Amino acid sequence: MRYWLMKSEPSDCSIDDLAAMTEQTVAWYGVRNYQARNFMRDQMRVGDGALFYHSNCAVPGVAGIARVASTAYPDATQFDRESRYFDPKATQETPRWFNVDVQLVKKITLVPLAELRKHPELERMRTLRRGNRLSITPLDPAEWKFITSRLARD
């Protein structure tokens, strides 16, 4: 079992948007970075833990606890000419982009990025490192445990 931090822009899909979805589950489409894709395609398994992180917004931070709800399958938006995620180089036979489904476990009181930065236990977290822009990053089990048991509040 692995643990992940997954960034979402709340203007695109917020924790409340996720809560409103059928089965409180969303397809994590639109990832167009190979490292992030490889994490989903090669490493994610049903039941992995995920921190749902709000990025590119007034108060960025961890907004909820989620779980990986499917293994990876081809991202439908790569084939959709109308989509901003359309990729002319992708074909049905050789899809280039994949996504998993992510299901809400529970919404928490937002743990702001500034709060995460205060804790030495988290200083090696990839998302906190300077210059990191990856939208999906692995979390150490210790980091997952610290955040979910020590910082997360209902």
Partner DNA sequence: GCCAACGTTGGC
Residues that bind DNA (CB under 7 A): 7, 9, 32-35, 55-57, 60, 113-114, 130-135
63 or 69: whose CB is closer to DNA?
63
Read off the tokens for 86: 């359309």
Cα 90 to Cα 8, 34, 98, 100: the distances in Å are 24, 14, 11, 18
Nearer to DNA by Cβ, of 9 and 140: the residue is 9
Place of tokens 């702001």: 112
Least distance between DNA and beta carbon 116 (Å): 10
Alpha-carbon gap, residue 78 to 92, rounded angstroms: 9
The label of the residue with tokens 């489409």 reads 29
Distance of CA 132 to the CA centre of its chain: 14
Query: What is the closest distance, in whole angstroms, from the C-beta atom of residue 19 to DNA in the complex?
Result: 21
Pick the closer one to DNA by CB: 44 or 154.
Answer: 44
**Would you say 35 or 109 has its CB closer to DNA?**
35
What backbone phi and psi angles, to 5 degrees, belong to 104?
-65, 135
* Minimum CB–partner distance for residue 81 and DNA (Å): 17
For residue 135, the minimal CB distance to DNA (Å) is 5
